[in-house]
Amino acid sequence: MAKQLTPRQLILKARFYRFFGLVFAAVGLFVLMAVFSFAYKGDLQLIAEEPAAFTIVFIPFLPSFVLAWIADRATKKAITMLENQSKST
């Protein structure tokens, strides 16, 4: 069974995930630019013509989206725990 985290630990966890989410977003941007320049030679019309290219645009940002989602869940859980603590006192 998992150990129950305190609100402070949850907030730190959320900040950690948000920071690395931003790092992965920046890396994803560079990967997107590299794929776009090498595979499509900078032609936007080719992306519009190929449906698979639309998904290729979002793949480098998937880790960032997942980390942002996890950080949001941790923040909401911490806020709920803090509200419950304030109601009980």
pLDDT in tens, 4-59: 888 899 999 999 999 999 999 999 889 888 877 887 776 777 777 777 777 777 88
Task: State pTM to two decimals.
Answer: 0.78
- pLDDT at site 17: 95
pLDDT > 60? residue 63: yes
Predicted local distance difference test score (pLDDT) of residue 7: 87
The CA distances from residue 32 to 29, 38, 53, 60, in Å, are: 5, 10, 11, 6
pLDDT over 80 at 64, yes or no: yes
